[in-house]
């Protein structure tokens, strides 16, 4: 009997160790191999424990805690596992908040570990004490403060499960210093479920049938897909649906690269600076199929006029997104890979050629009014678009673009060509300037075999420029392109169009960016003439190691098409 019991109930392996060492053991059990962070007094015991595992865990020392979070985001977005961040208490912990907020709204899995003052000091305003649990509650999927070392294994197991399951997001674990020092009996078991937490909702079979019926009877169907396709690993199913039903498919900026850019049914980007055709046709389609996207205001414009003529089908993993902004006629809950696989057998083959031809005609109008001038300019100044064109020419679309926030971001999303998924890394919902440089570091660490190119404006670049030090120390071969127009370009564009060209506090007096890069021993070049651009881009891509390229672009260039904030999506400005 005893022998039978011992067979059926596995014996946990228990070791005697410190809380700090237990933290490292938890990370190893979860398959972590990289940590981004910055040490300090309250997390020093954990860093001391990490010292003994340097052959198993690599620590990337960023130059700022915010840089650590963005690097972790870049790492997580190109991988299939949560990224890990270490920071100390007080200012170290509060410096994580922007990255946490960015990861929360963009559904990026991340586990942040902060040190905290000893539990007997909590609430006493001790040196570098902040209530990071309360501060981070609105910008985390879950957080928890550990005051007893015995809690470490269970809390970490829950943290990784919550961060990566369902709709992903960041979690934060705050550990008091005495819990790090305490001796415990440690064993670890991965978390597979949590009572009352259901990461993937049950799919109603009737919703699948109803959605299929609407799609099969549609005359002018249109798909808008977002990052939920990438997070759900549903790229193959999306492509099969599009091709079987012959449906034009547009994307949000976080959905970009889920479908190859050159696919004949890929009709471009929706939203404020999206392509002309999909924005116009949003208010012409009879069935709008939203897949893994949340109807952000930059996509919908005026909700009172958004797709009112269409039946709306919403494929979504997060029930909170259903009917939040746009009322769904059919809501299909579940992971997009599963729900698309379920609906595929019910979909009838179609082509909708006449409907697709309407997109082609609208594309021609946008090409003549905007794209031709962006990619093949006849004026003297370099455009941002032709820089992306040259990058495409060299890489063939087999690269990762990490863009910051501003005009260059919209240009990168509009003109970068992608052949593989998980290739467009940017700050979507929060719009965090300073995101790209550290995020590119994380992306390159995550997939060192792929070319990672950071596209950054001169404003956002200077928000996290110190992370050049991280590149110098790690030798990661990140390619950095700063599109320098000596302005905070997106704000300046709005000032030009809506504030009578009153350029209040948007003109930048910039330093010598090439000299700064060389100060970090990074090869660097500046280009201001069109005749030198192609050669400079190829030199950057071919260089074995990190490289900085500054391109001086036209000072007052604007990004079109454009939908004014809060306007109807069909009221698109081409100039």
Query: Which residues participate in catalysis according to the annotation?
Result: 65, 127-128, 177, 490
Rounded Cα distance, 506 and 459, in Å: 9
Alpha-carbon gap, residue 322 to 330, rounded angstroms: 10
DSSP one-letter code for 503:
-
Query: Do 434 and 464 meet the contact criterion of CB atoms below 8 Å apart?
Result: yes
Q: How many CB atoms lie within 10 A of CB 338?
A: 15
Q: What is the dihedral of CA 392, 252, 428, 271, to 10 degrees?
A: 100
What is the end-to-end Cα distance of the chain in Å, rounded? 82
Site of tokens 């963009």: 106
What are the respective helix, strand and coil percentages of the chain, to the nearest 5?
A: 45, 20, 40
Give CA–CA dist 453/481, Å, rounded.
7
452: left (phi over 0), alpha (psi -120 to 50) or beta: beta
Which token pair is 61? 């020392």
Cα–Cα distance measured from residue 303 to residue 308, given in angstroms and rounded to the nearest whole number: 9
Instruction: Please state, in angstroms and rounded to a whole number, the distance separating the CA atoms of residues 504 and 522.
Output: 34
Q: Encoding tokens for residue 565?
A: 């904030």
How many Å apart are CA 15 and CA 186, to the nearest integer? Answer: 5
Contacts for 354 with CB less than 8 Å, ≥ 6 apart? none
Q: Tell me the residue ranges of DSSP E strands in 48-109.
A: 58-61, 83-87
Question: For residues 351 and 243, what is the distance between their CA atoms, to the nearest angstrom?
Answer: 8
Most distant CA atoms of the chain, gap in Å: 88
Quick one: tokens of 557?
């260039």
| Nearest CA-CA partner of 77 in 480, 478, 442, 460 | 442
């Amino acid at each position: 009997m005893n022998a039978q019991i011992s067979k059926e109930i596995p014996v946990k392996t228990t070791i005697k160790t410190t809380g700090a060492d237990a933290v490292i053991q938890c990370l190893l059990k979860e398959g972590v191999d990289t940590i981004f962070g910055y040490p300090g007094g309250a997390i020093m015991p954990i860093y001391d424990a990490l010292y003994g595992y340097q052959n198993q865990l690599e620590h990337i020392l960023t130059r700022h805690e915010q840089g650590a979070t963005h690097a972790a985001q870049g790492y997580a977005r190109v991988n299939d596992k949560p990224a890990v961040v270490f920071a100390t208490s007080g200012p170290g912990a509060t410096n994580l908040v922007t990255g946490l907020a960015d990861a929360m709204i963009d559904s990026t899995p991340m586990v942040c570990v902060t040190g905290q003052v000893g539990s007997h000091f909590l609430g006493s305003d001790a040196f570098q004490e902040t209530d990071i649990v309360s501060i981070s509650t609105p910008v985390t999927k879950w957080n928890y403060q550990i005051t007893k070392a015995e809690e470490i294994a269970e809390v970490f197991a829950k943290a990784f499960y919550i961060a990566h399951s369902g709709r992903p997001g960041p979690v934060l674990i705050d550990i008091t210093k005495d819990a790090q020092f305490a001796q415990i009996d440690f064993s670890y078991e991965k978390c597979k479920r949590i009572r009352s937490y259901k990461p993937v909702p049950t799919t109603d079979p009737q919703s699948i049938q109803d959605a299929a019926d609407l799609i099969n009877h549609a005359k002018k169907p249109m798909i808008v897909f977002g990052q939920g396709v990438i997070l759900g690993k549903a790229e193959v199913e999306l492509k099969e649906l599009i091709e079987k039903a012959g449906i034009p498919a547009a994307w949000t900026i976080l959905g970009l690269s889920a479908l190859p850019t050159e696919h004949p049914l890929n009709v471009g980007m929706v939203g404020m600076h999206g392509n002309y055709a999909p924005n116009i046709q949003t208010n012409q389609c009879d069935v709008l199929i939203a897949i893994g996207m949340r109807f952000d205001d930059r996509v919908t414009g005026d909700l009172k006029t958004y797709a009112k003529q269409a039946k709306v089908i919403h494929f979504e993993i997060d029930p909170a997104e259903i009917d939040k902004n746009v009322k769904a006629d059919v809501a299909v809950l579940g992971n997009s890979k599963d729900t698309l696989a379920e609906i595929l057998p019910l979909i009838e083959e179609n082509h909708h050629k006449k409907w697709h031809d309407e997109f082609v005609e609208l594309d021609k109008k946008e090409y003549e009014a905007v794209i031709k001038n962006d990619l093949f300019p006849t004026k003297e100044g370099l455009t941002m678009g032709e820089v992306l064109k040259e990058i495409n020419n060299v890489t063939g679309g087999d690269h990762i673009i990490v863009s910051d926030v501003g005009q260059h971001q919209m240009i990168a999303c509009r003109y970068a060509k992608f052949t593989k998924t998980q290739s467009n890394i940017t700050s979507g919902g929060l719009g965090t300037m300073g995101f790209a440089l550290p995020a590119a570091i994380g992306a390159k660490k995550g997939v060192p075999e792929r070319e990672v190119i950071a596209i950054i404006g001169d404003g956002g670049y200077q928000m996290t420029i110190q992370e050049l030090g991280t590149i110098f120390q790690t030798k990661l071969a990140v390619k950095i392109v700063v599109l320098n127009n000596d302005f905070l370009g997106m704000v300046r564009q709005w000032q030009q169009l809506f504030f009578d060209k009153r350029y209040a506090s948007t003109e930048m007096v910039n330093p010598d960016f090439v000299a700064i890069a060389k100060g970090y021993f990074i090869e660097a070049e500046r280009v201001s003439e069109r005749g030198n651009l192609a050669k400079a881009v190829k030199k950057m891509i071919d260089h074995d190691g990190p490289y900085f390229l500054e391109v001086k672009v036209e000072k007052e260039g604007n990004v079109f098409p454009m939908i004014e904030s809060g306007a109807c999506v069909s009221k698109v400005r081409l100039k």
